[in-house]
Amino acid sequence: MSELTGFHSSAVMHRLKIISGHLPPGGSSNFRRDLRRSDCGSATAASSRSSPEDVVVVHGRRTAIGKAKRGGFKDTTPDELLSAVMSAVLKDVGLSPERLGDVCVGNVLQPGAGALMARVAHFLSGFPESVPVYTVNRQCSSGLQALFNVAGAIRSRAIDLGLACGVESMSLRGIGNPGDLSSRLMDNDKARDCIIPMGITSENVAERFGVSRETQDAFALRSQQNAARAQRAGLFDHEIVPVTTKFVDDEGKERQVTVSRDEGVRPGTTLEGLAKLRPAFKPDGSTTAGNSSQVSDGAAAVLIGRRSAVEALGLPVLGVLRASAVVGVPPDVMGIGPAYAIPAALQQAGRKCLYADVSSSDFRLRFMKDLGIPPEKVNPNGGAIALGHPLGCTGARQVVTLLNELKRRGRRAYGVVSMCIGTGMGAAAVFEYPGA
């Protein structure tokens, strides 16, 4: 069917709503249904039926997110964090690790993206040597990319089940050595833009897209308030794996601590307090420590598989991967990544967004407005500003938080995970929670 134009007209939307109400799932006695729009509008609705070939999420867990350098995980090596979540996920569902066809771990800062570290974690969890493992680095999206990779292997039938993980210790590793780069880098505009610090790209977006300090602070306040409320209500209790680990205090004495709460949340955040903070990257800038994502430590793991294999093992289905998209954007304004990746993923899924977990997004408000996403649907339990952003972990962590929240709400619904990516990309995935 031809493309729709001028669809902002409310009369048109009303008529489309009535017509949409005639299409499946049908046969109910609702007179006026909520709009359920499929971009192509044809009678064959896109992928809303369940198929044995679906890539489904079985279960996911994460560690608490610790504040880098000062928090409970500051002396914890990433393999320990990773091992904790890998073990927990399999133990929860009673699955033997032999069943895993592959394990993919997102990581950014470890040497070689943590390839050796991951294999060590694997054995620390008692996984058999017969199960392979590898790591992937697509910067901030690595944890989500790990899931995409495992999903791809499932779809190509290389494997039936796999573990997609992400881990980062920003306490023990910094951005550090950028590697061996050509001297021509400085003569190539786009290449040079890749080494712009993230804080400066944030300032670039604020300037170019007119996102004020006030708007950024308001978004940050929302993130903190939502996270604090969720934490108080115990919404993260199910997904967090408590980790008991070593902690070296200021006097050099070592003791054991158990970290089970996200440390970055600041319940006492106020607009006045945020307004007092000095810009962190540019003297007259708008990006501060209060409205940026935090430097953090953490890990997450998600078990995914082909639906037929999952059902054959008697495992539950927590969610279905409905679409995945990665797009490239200018490196100097990399923060706009989700604004392009989200529509690409939604189009693939043929869906309108119901809930979004959008990371590292201190000024997505502008783009949320452009995309028509109601603000209350973005990070209802807080985002990277409040919870933190352990680089390689975040993507996987978002999937866990998203699906748990959809499950808590109970109704069949769709959700989106998205983030911007340093060096100029955006990634997004659409998940379906099938309903209680």
Q: Which of residues 43-72 bind another protein (CB under 8 A)?
A: 43
Pair 370, 208: CB distance under 8 Å: no
Applying CB under 8 A, among 21, 132, 330, 375 the residue interacting with another protein is: 21
Query: Of 26-34, 95-103, 244-252, 357-365, which segment contacts another protein by CB under 8 A?
Result: 26-34
Using CB under 8 A as the binding rule, whether residue 34 contacts another protein is answered as no
Residues binding another protein: number (CB under 8 A): 26
Return all residues near 323 (Cβ < 8 A) that are at least 6 apart.
345, 346, 347, 348, 349, 351, 428, 429, 430
Using CB under 8 A as the binding rule, whether residue 280 contacts another protein is answered as no
Report the alpha-carbon distance of residue 406 to residue 400 in Å, rounded: 10
Q: Which of 159, 23, 46, 64 is nearest to 430 (CA)?
A: 46
DSSP secondary structure, 397-427, as one string: HHHHHHHHHHHHH-S-EEEEEEEEETTTEEE
Pair 88, 73: CB distance under 8 Å: no
Using CB under 8 A as the binding rule, whether residue 273 contacts another protein is answered as no
Query: Of 8-16, 93-101, 271-279, 358-366, which segment contacts another protein by CB under 8 A?
Result: 8-16
Q: Which candidate in 140, 165, 353, 393 is catalytic?
A: 140
Would you say 18 or 116 has its CB closer to another protein? 18
Structure tokens at 288: 């501060």
Would you say 16 or 195 has its CB closer to another protein? 16
Q: Which candidate in 122, 165, 389, 393 is catalytic?
A: 389
Query: Of 18-26, 84-92, 181-189, 292-300, which segment contacts another protein by CB under 8 A?
Result: 18-26
Using CB under 8 A as the binding rule, whether residue 177 contacts another protein is answered as no
Question: Tokens 């709009």 — which residue?
Answer: 35
Is residue 353 annotated as a catalytic residue, yes or no?
no
Q: Which of 48, 28, 29, 104 is nearest to 433 (CA)?
A: 48
Whether omega before 242 lies within 30 degrees of 0, making that bond cis, reads: no
Backbone angles phi, psi at 390, to 5 degrees: -75, 110
Is residue 165 annotated as a catalytic residue, yes or no?
no
Using CB under 8 A as the binding rule, whether residue 40 contacts another protein is answered as no
Would you say 23 or 131 has its CB closer to another protein? 23
DSSP secondary structure, 359-385, as one string: ET-TTTHHHHHHHT--GGGB-TT--HH
Minimum distance from residue 43 beta carbon to another protein (Å): 5
Query: Of 24-32, 61-69, 146-154, 361-369, which segment contacts another protein by CB under 8 A?
Result: 24-32
Would you say 6 or 179 has its CB closer to another protein? 6
Minimum distance from residue 28 beta carbon to another protein (Å): 7
Q: Which of 355, 327, 292, 358 is nearest to 427 (CA)?
A: 327
DSSP assignment, residue 64? P
Is residue 389 annotated as a catalytic residue, yes or no?
yes
Query: Of 4-12, 53-61, 139-147, 204-212, which segment contacts another protein by CB under 8 A?
Result: 4-12
Minimum distance from residue 343 beta carbon to another protein (Å): 19
Minimum distance from residue 282 beta carbon to another protein (Å): 44
Query: Of 15-23, 111-119, 280-288, 414-422, which segment contacts another protein by CB under 8 A?
Result: 15-23
Q: Which candidate in 165, 353, 393, 420 is catalytic?
A: 420
Report the alpha-carbon distance of residue 376 to residue 218 in Å, rounded: 13
Using CB under 8 A as the binding rule, whether residue 25 contacts another protein is answered as no
DSSP secondary structure, 276-332, as one string: HSPBSSSTT-S-BSSSSPPBEEEEEEEEEEEHHHHHHTT----EEEEEEEEEE--GG
Backbone angles phi, psi at 257, to 5 degrees: -130, 155
Using CB under 8 A as the binding rule, whether residue 7 contacts another protein is answered as yes
Tally of CA atoms within 13 A in the half-sphere of 201 that contains its CB: 26
Minimum distance from residue 350 beta carbon to another protein (Å): 17
DSSP assignment, residue 40? T
Using CB under 8 A as the binding rule, whether residue 184 contacts another protein is answered as no
Residues annotated as catalytic (active site), given as ranges: 140, 389, 420
Site of interaction with another protein (CB under 8 A): 1-7, 9, 11-12, 15-16, 18-19, 21-24, 26-29, 31-32, 42-43
